[in-house]
Structure 1
């Protein structure tokens, strides 16, 4: 075959460009033996274990993956990223019922093979997620419950969470005992650089105020942190702790309710104001404290009902010595372009001092027809001539978020 005469480096480059195209990787592996090694590396680098469509089906996807590892043990060393989906829209569960039964407990709670799969893998990234609308999961009722999990699976997961090789962890849809227990999962993961936590629930509220022990180390040096939490309103305060070093964090995403003033600002201050990319959800512009505008900030993305009020706050309150390159304001619901004269009165005189600014993007997630959106976008541009005239303004229509957790993550 022609490909047999080509340098292996060229063949590897071809496969590198197809790294996320599984059908093409499969076709290449079947076409010639010289493609097999590179195709296999890319095909098994990321593995996703889906829930069984029917909880009574056998073998389920996890069992089939275990069978593959048993018959081809060399594959285990190729897996770098593992995603475990607890439940999704295709899962054949009784989603609308009120009684709790075995058919609506996440499959991992009854499965015996995941605890056999995990020890074979030396992962860089692990994700455990549930992929359903928020309404199906009030208070974590159908999430994976850590304390009710099989002991062998808990042990296998703890070994992964504390692995010196692990670089990223993503948890969505899990019930744990307390904030302290949640943070303890990763306390020994010295290579961990990225944590994403969303839709987590605490089973013992009495333990919520247990701070991280003063003499116990927390080894991760995070560069990226996401917390999406509308249930445990003050979880972020547990991250503001001298033993939890957040000074390396460059990307911070927060979608929380704030019941105690100042914790968002304290969390940003705990990063030594080193955050370069900030994303947060806010109900209104009234809780926008200028202290969140840390000096190293290069991009900020706000999801709010008051996007134009936020825009005024930015241009009125942001420090003069700024590296800010991109401002994204995203809103849903009824977001009228109110007070165009007031907008320009604030922004016009101040925009020149944003010397690094390259883009101000207004994203609308309004449920409008195309004609209505076009009219709305024209009104935005007319209200912001100083941004439009400098080529800084972009007005885009964003899809209505099916799942707010996905929207943030």
Structure 2
């Protein structure tokens, strides 16, 4: 779990739970719950079942307030900010001074830090910082090594950044990077890189943006490899923001196609390269909503049929596979990254040629990404499809954007 080998961690945790239950170890279920909470958090899989479990453990173990801290964190992760604030405020009534001074304190403080950062509560950040400071340079461990949440210097960096104490934040983040790297704690290295980059972008001193982009690239690469869906989304959004690209645009046809594909999870193994990888291409028409409103339904449908014919002709010519089409949005799959890129180039050329004589020009956006070997469907569709769609969503009409991995392959 510490190294990011999540599938193996889940298997071993289930084995440990079975052993504990046979031995009638009363704490087995709670430790398994802790491990699953961390694992699902890292993989971006938290949901209502986790809220119910945290509530159950909080009621069963009232002397362990870390479960209530986890509940507040869950609310923030699920976008339920009012509930997060209520739980956080209740725990902070005495500036957290009434939290038990036991071995669970560091994990409780670290979990509260996540909520504090999302809420932007600088006053409570100061209180948490003072309580957490004695743990600087140490690892945050739950129980007898049930889990390790990396270096305590990471939450200290987050808290210092929330208070805009930039120099201290930078020192803590660098300490956390060094320690997590030495421990082989790859998920926590990636989380720290993201948080460090966020701090640098907020400080915005000379050189900060460049360093932040470097950290975000490293975090994104690791998160993709490890299957950390939420971190992939956050690191990509922050990187695009740092590059001045708007990520708040309304849902597009690409988003619609990606959502359907994630839900249906079609079997793409027959379209994979010998090494098991698949190159994904997303495309749609820039400004299609405005075009529809301007032309009316009938003329839009005529334009759409012409658009679809151009795309499908190029896909067939380059041995691609149409995974899904929704409106003017397509998701395509290719065995060869090079053929996928050639298809994208030829598609843009075809539309450029069409536009020379057309009354209504069509400008398409294209984004490509080569996914890792298909092992688990949830992992592939939750990570690679999302990334490919986000890349395509940032392209302008007439542009082709590719991931760094695809660029290396071609």
TM norm structure 1 = 0.37
Q: Higher relative contact order at CA 8 Å, sep ≥6: structure 1 or structure 2?
A: 2
Q: Which protein is richer in helix relative to its size?
A: 2
TM norm structure 2 = 0.37
